[in-house]
Amino acid sequence: AQSVAQPEDQVNVAEGNPLTVKCTYSVSGNPYLFWYVQYPNRGLQFLLKYITGDNLVKGSYGFEAEFNKSQTSFHLKKPSALVSDSALYFCAVREKTGANNLFFGTGTRLTVIP
């Protein structure tokens, strides 16, 4: 069975500081990993994905994420946070074999303080 844990419901960071949003996963095989962002009253916007290859993945809006197989983690990072980054962030996993659906974590609300 697949599962995703986002251990922090809320992350606060000062504008200009680096940010990290944590995600750990559990799958029976090799994973596809995704990060999505959700703004109020909106659908989810794709940020980045890990399929294979380089463990450091770069995505939209300056975000990046590092796949760590031994720690089963896929933390989202950004070197310098913007107030406009304030939103709800979801980590999702999909097994490479089996069902094609995304399994989402419960989300982390990021607040960037001016």
Report in angstroms how near the CB of residue 55 gets to other proteins at its nearest.
18
H helix intervals, the chain: none
Where in 52-111 is the site for other proteins (CB under 8 A)?
90, 92, 94-96, 99-107
Intra-chain end-to-end CA distance of the chain, in Å: 41
> Least distance (Å) from other proteins to the CB of residue 107?
5
5 DSSP β-pair partners: 24
Q: Is 51 in the site for other proteins (CB under 8 A)?
A: yes
Question: Shortest distance, CB of residue 14 to other proteins, whole angstroms?
Answer: 26
What is the footprint of other proteins within residues 26-45 (CB under 8 A)? 32, 34, 36, 41-45
Instruction: Report residue 105 as tokens.
Output: 């974590």
The tokens for 27 are 């799958």
Number of residues that bind other proteins (CB under 8 A): 26
User: What is the distance between the alpha carbons of residues 88 and 76, in angstroms, rounded to a whole number?
Assistant: 12
Minimum distance from residue 28 beta carbon to other proteins (Å): 14
24: tokens are: 């750990």
Give the whole-angstrom CA distance, residue 111 versus residue 101: 29
Structure tokens at 17: 């500081």
The residues that touch other proteins, with contacts defined as CB under 8 A, are 4, 32, 34, 36, 41-46, 49, 51, 90, 92, 94-96, 99-107
